[in-house]
Amino acid sequence: MPEVAVMIGWFVLALGVSALLTGLVRRYALAGGMLDVPNGRSSHLVPTARGGGISIVLVFLGAMVVLWLQGLMAIESFAALGGAGILVAAIGWLDDRGGVAARWRLLVHFVAAGWGLFWLGGVPPVELFSVSLAPGLLGFGVGLLYLVWLLNLYNFMDGIDGIAGVEVVSVCVGACWLGWLLGLAPLDLLLPALLAAAALGFLCWNWPPARIFMGDAGSGFIGLMLGLLSIMAAHQSLLLFAGWLILLAVFVCDASVTLLHRLVRGQRLAEAHCSHAYQQAARSYASHRTVTLGVLAINLCWLLPLASFCVIGWAGPLLAILLAYAPLIVLALYFRAGAAEQAARPGRRARP
pLDDT tens for each residue of 167-209:
999 999 999 999 999 999 888 999 999 999 999 999 999 999 9
Global pTM value: 0.92
Q: Spell out a b/e string for 147-168, using b for 16 or more CB atoms within 10 Å of the CB, else e.
A: bbbbbbbbbbbbbbbbbbbbbb
Looking at per-residue confidence, does 185 or 330 come out higher?
A: 330
Q: Residue 97: its pLDDT value, please? A: 79
What is the amino acid identity at position 333? L
The neighbouring-strand residues paired with 78 are none
Q: Is residue 62 very low, low, confident or very high in pLDDT (cuts 50, 70, 90)?
A: very high
Distance CA(170)–CA(228), nearest Å, equals: 17
pLDDT of residue 352: 33
Q: How far apart are CA 32 and CA 24, in angstroms?
A: 12
- What is the pLDDT confidence band of residue 42, given thresholds at 50, 70 and 90? low
User: Residues 117, 143: contact at Cβ < 8 Å?
Assistant: yes
Question: 95: pLDDT confidence band, cut at 50, 70 and 90?
Answer: confident
- Residues contacting residue 178 through CB under 8 Å, at least 6 positions apart: 240, 243, 244, 247, 307, 308, 311
Averaged pLDDT of the chain: 89
How many other CB atoms are found less than 10 A from the CB of residue 188?
17
**Which of the four pLDDT bands, split at 50, 70 and 90, describes residue 348?**
very low
**From CA 72, how far away is CA 124, in angstroms rounded?**
23
Residue 133 is classified by DSSP as E
Work out the angle between the directed axes of helices 190-206 and 163-181 (0-180°, nearest 10).
160
CA distance 72 to 248: 27
pLDDT band at 351 (very low <50, low <70, confident <90, very high): very low
Strand partners for 49? 35, 212
Q: Which residues contact 66 (CB under 8 A, 6 or more apart)?
A: none
- What single letter denotes the amino acid at residue 198? A
The CA-based dihedral angle spanning residues 231, 234, 240, 243, taken in that order and rounded to the nearest 10 degrees? 50
Q: Residues 302, 70: contact at Cβ < 8 Å?
A: no
3 state SS of 268: coil
